[in-house]
């Protein structure tokens, strides 16, 4: 099995029955990774079984990810069927993984870029500049110049100073005014930093008019990890009001950008994508005529459920607490690596045992095993580096493996190399049939 996996990893990429990805595959450079056509669990098992303590291969037990490109594609199909009018512009900041971005470029969606290097990454794949929105309301001057040189015209703003800067650097830009919405029900409240309050909208638009700038529409962001679908409808009402202010000043707005904040496929309770679509779709249709183009900037939605992390138990400490035995486990990716989402994105992550005492746990019944209160820690020397404080787990040994689902959004992209730990390897598969 080990050899088979090795062979797959060094062979030229093999791609599946996803027609658009197939077409694009023909242009792929040879150094791109293989995409397997195996279930995620099988990829994980083969990888784990390829690790042998007898071989002492360098770094063989490093933590790794399995990325399911097919899950990203399934999320795209779900979007098209539930929000057909709204064009997704993938927020690349959530996961700039080259294979994810390649797939989304190939299927023709747009991109929300926050910086020059994100714009460069997308342009380098042959994406037309019209398919990009530079959705960062405060931009570095030289990045605006770069956008101008590459005809990336759509960009957001939320303050008068930015308008003066854009007038100087890119007077023909197509500007989108980002308004403030109620993001109090979101895990990451972006309104603390960006978004013009409604009372400032008329004066900002007047400034744009005085500077002879081209404002083409309105955008908002209800906050990332939004927990209330009604926030989207409320924001659409605000956007309608802002549109009307623009029309009063003689602007002809024809773009509404409903931002990000959409839940990933992992979210089953509370706010689901279905619930958001059932509110947002009709709200947009009721308040905006069909000549208004409607786009969105989903990030988490596309990638959260597509990435699974697997970590290796590199240490165990037995703790006696109130006559109870508890365990502390140390694994080889953590809060300063891919699990930074716990700190920055307010995520709660859940461990699943893959092997126990070197035996395949996934082939055993888990119900009968005695479990102990356990905490799981990352590999650095810092005590903030804790992934789970009170998990109930069977006794694990050094060398066992733990899996973490839904690790695709705001994880790898913000991982540091603190304490000298490298970013986890990514193995690609495609489960789309």
Ligand X SMILES: Cc1ncc(COP(=O)(O)O)c(C=O)c1O
Count the Cβ atoms, other than its own, within 10 Å of residue 327: 19
User: CA–CA separation, 426 vs 341, rounded Å?
Assistant: 17
Place of tokens 């056509």: 37
| Cβ distance to ligand X smaller for residue 110 or 394 | 110
Verify binding: residue 262, ligand X, rule CB under 6 A.
Answer: yes
User: CA–CA separation, 431 vs 433, rounded Å?
Assistant: 6
Q: How far is the CB of 207 from ligand X (least distance, A)?
A: 22
- Please state whether beta strands 324-331 and 214-219 pair in parallel, antiparallel, or not at all (unpaired): unpaired
Task: Say if residues 216 and 175 touch (Cβ distance below 8 Å).
Answer: yes
Verify binding: residue 190, ligand X, rule CB under 6 A.
Answer: yes
Segment near ligand X (CB under 6 A); pick from 202-210, 257-265, 321-329, 380-388 = 257-265
Task: Say if residues 86 and 55 touch (Cβ distance below 8 Å).
Answer: no
Structure tokens of 326?
A: 């508890």
Verify binding: residue 174, ligand X, rule CB under 6 A.
Answer: no
**CB-based contacts of 359, cutoff 8 Å, min separation 6:** none
Catalytic residue among 14, 341, 381, 413, which?
381
* Identified binder of ligand X from the candidate list 110, 246, 261, 408, rule CB under 6 A: 261
H-helix or E-strand spanning residue 80: helix 69-82
User: CA–CA separation, 318 vs 326, rounded Å?
Assistant: 6
Segment near ligand X (CB under 6 A); pick from 11-19, 258-266, 285-293, 332-340 = 258-266
Q: How far is the CB of 137 from ligand X (least distance, A)?
A: 8
Task: Say if residues 426 and 64 touch (Cβ distance below 8 Å).
Answer: yes
- Catalytic residue flag (residue 381): yes
User: CA–CA separation, 358 vs 398, rounded Å?
Assistant: 9
In the region spanning residues 301 to 320, those forming contacts with ligand X, defined by CB under 6 A, are: 301
Quick note: the x/- pattern for ligand X over 131-150, rule CB under 6 A, is: ----x---------------
| Cβ distance to ligand X smaller for residue 262 or 327 | 262
* Identified binder of ligand X from the candidate list 96, 195, 217, 260, rule CB under 6 A: 260
| Cβ distance to ligand X smaller for residue 103 or 226 | 226
Quick note: the x/- pattern for ligand X over 88-117, rule CB under 6 A, is: ---x--x-----------------x-----
Verify binding: residue 118, ligand X, rule CB under 6 A.
Answer: no
Site size toward ligand X (CB under 6 A) is 16
Verify binding: residue 297, ligand X, rule CB under 6 A.
Answer: yes
Verify binding: residue 408, ligand X, rule CB under 6 A.
Answer: no
Structure tokens of 251?
A: 């602007």
Rg (CA), the chain: 24
Segment near ligand X (CB under 6 A); pick from 11-19, 56-64, 195-203, 297-305 = 297-305
Task: Say if residues 207 and 192 touch (Cβ distance below 8 Å).
Answer: no
State whether residue 151 is helix, strand or coil: coil
Segment near ligand X (CB under 6 A); pick from 30-38, 241-249, 254-262, 379-387 = 254-262
State whether residue 37 is helix, strand or coil: coil
In the region spanning residues 209 to 248, those forming contacts with ligand X, defined by CB under 6 A, are: 221, 224
Task: Say if residues 409 and 300 touch (Cβ distance below 8 Å).
Answer: yes
Q: How many alpha carbons fall within 13 Å on the CB side of residue 87? A: 18
Q: How far is the CB of 345 from ligand X (least distance, A)?
A: 9
| Planar angle of CA 372, 376, 381, nearest 5 degrees | 140
Verify binding: residue 154, ligand X, rule CB under 6 A.
Answer: no
**Residues belonging to the active site:** 381
| Interacting residue ranges for ligand X, rule: CB under 6 A | 91, 94, 112, 135, 190, 221, 224, 259-262, 297-301
């Amino acid at each position: 099995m080990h050899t088979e996996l090795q062979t797959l990893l060094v062979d030229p990429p093999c791609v599946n029955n996803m027609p658009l990805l197939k077409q694009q595959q023909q242009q792929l450079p040879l150094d791109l990774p293989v995409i397997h056509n195996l279930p995620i669990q099988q990829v994980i098992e083969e990888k784990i079984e390829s690790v042998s303590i007898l071989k002492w291969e360098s770094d063989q037990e490093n933590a790794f990810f399995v990325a399911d490109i097919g899950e990203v594609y399934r999320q795209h199909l779900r979007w098209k069927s539930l929000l057909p009018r709204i064009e997704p512009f993938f927020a690349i900041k959530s996961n700039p993984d080259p294979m994810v971005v390649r797939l989304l470029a190939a299927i023709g969606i747009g991109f929300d870029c926050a910086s020059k290097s994100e714009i460069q990454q997308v342009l380098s794949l042959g994406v037309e500049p019209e398919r990009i929105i530079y959705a960062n309301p405060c931009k570095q001057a030289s990045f605006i110049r770069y956008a101008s040189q590459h005809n990336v015209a759509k960009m957001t703003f939320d303050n008068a100073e930015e308008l003066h800067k854009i007038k100087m650097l890119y007077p023909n830009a197509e500007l989108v005014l980002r308004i403030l919405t109620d993001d109090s029900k979101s895990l990451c409240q972006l309104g603390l930093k960006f978004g013009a309050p409604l009372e400032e909208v008329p004066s900002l638009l007047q400034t744009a008019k005085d500077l002879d700038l081209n404002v083409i529409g309105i955008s908002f962001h209800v906050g990332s990890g939004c927990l209330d679908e009604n926030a989207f409808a409320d924001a659409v009402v605000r956007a309608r009001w802002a549109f009307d202010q623009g029309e009063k000043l003689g602007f002809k707005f024809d773009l509404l950008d409903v931002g990000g904040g959409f839940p990933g496929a992992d979210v089953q309770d509370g706010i689901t994508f279905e619930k958001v679509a059932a509110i947002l779709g009709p709200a947009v249709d009721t308040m905006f005529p069909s000549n208004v183009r409607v786009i969105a900037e989903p990030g988490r939605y596309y990638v959260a459920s597509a990435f699974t992390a697997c970590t290796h138990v590199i240490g165990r400490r037995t703790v006696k607490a109130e006559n109870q035995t508890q365990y502390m486990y140390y694994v080889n990716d953590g809060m300063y690596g891919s699990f930074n989402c716990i700190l920055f994105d307010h995520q709660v992550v859940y461990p699943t045992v893959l092997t126990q005492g070197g035996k395949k746990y996934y082939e055993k019944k888990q119900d009968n095993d005695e479990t102990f209160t356990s905490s799981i820690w990352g590999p650095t020397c810092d005590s903030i580096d804790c992934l789970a404080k009170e998990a109930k787990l069977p006794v694990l040994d050094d060398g066992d493996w733990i899996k973490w689902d839904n690790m695709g959004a705001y994880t790898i992209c913000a991982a540091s190399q603190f304490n000298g730990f490298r970013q986890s390897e990514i193995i690609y598969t495609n489960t789309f049939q």
